[in-house]
Amino acid sequence: MLPVDEARAIATDGGVPAEMAELSIFRVLLRHPRLARAFNDLLGMLLFRNTLPHRLRELVIMRIGWVTGSEYEWGQHWRVGHTFFDVPAADLAATRDWQRHDGFDAADRAVLAATDEVLERGAVSAATWDACTAAIPAASPEERDHALLELFMAIGAWRMVSGVLRSLEVPIEDFTESWPPDGTPPDASRVHG
């Protein structure tokens, strides 16, 4: 990883917000500034300029972090989902075994099923696509199309992020908890992806 000061200087010159340079993933990615900027632009759009409800996206990311065994992704989005997007901690934790959680509605269940199908088979089934189309809230057909496209881009993007984080062994930051809420990682024999 780059030292924080060096990463900040590169970020500023490369069109990446300087505060992102404090994150371990950007301290690695800023070794390739154009790649870091493209990465930041995609994830920034999906996080902050999105149509898909924040809650649904955060549930997807948490599920991916758990299934793939990405400590960084799980820890970061525990903090992001709960602190910035008000997703209840019980719901974030329940993504570990979402089929048994009574607190999920039809939209939550549809996006989590879609996430599992993409992780397991690389694609979503027609039935799950229909469930997502029916359950994801949207004010218009165009907004629904945008939300659905964002859903599948989010699944693909954070699946990719998990692989990058794990492959490059990017460490969690000092301000990030390891496997919240209870410090228990997934069973390594069940991790895939």
pLDDT in tens, 117-170: 999 999 999 999 999 999 999 999 999 999 999 999 999 999 999 999 999 999
Q: The CATH number of the domain where 167 resides is what?
A: 1.20.1290.10
Whether 193 has a pLDDT exceeding 80, the answer reads no
Residues 19 and 60 in one domain: no
Residues 107 and 182 in one domain: yes
Residues 6+ apart with CB under 8 A from 56: 107, 108, 111, 136, 151
- In angstroms, how far apart are the furthest CA atoms of the chain? 49
* C-alpha dihedral, 45 to 122 to 159 to 50, nearest 10°: 20
Residues 98 and 140 in one domain: yes
The packing angle between helices 54-68 and 71-79, to 10°, is: 150
Residues 172 and 182 in one domain: yes
pLDDT tens digit sequence for 94-132: 999 999 999 999 999 999 999 999 999 999 999 999 999
The packing angle between helices 106-121 and 126-135, to 10°, is: 150
Smallest CA-to-CA distance from 165 within 73, 47, 51, 50 is with 73
Residues 61 and 89 in one domain: yes
How far apart CA 21 and CA 141 sit, in angstroms, is 38
Residues 21 and 70 in one domain: no
Whole-model pTM: value is 0.96
Residues 14 and 98 in one domain: no
Residues 32 and 63 in one domain: no
Q: DSSP readout, 152-173?
A: HHHHHHHHHHHHHHHHTTPPPP
pLDDT tens digit sequence for 24-68: 999 999 999 999 999 999 999 999 999 999 999 999 999 999 999
Residues 45 and 69 in one domain: no
How far apart CA 56 and CA 110 sit, in angstroms, is 10
Residues 179 and 92 in one domain: yes
Number of structural domains (the chain) is 2
- The boundaries of the domain holding residue 100 are 51-190
Residues 102 and 21 in one domain: no
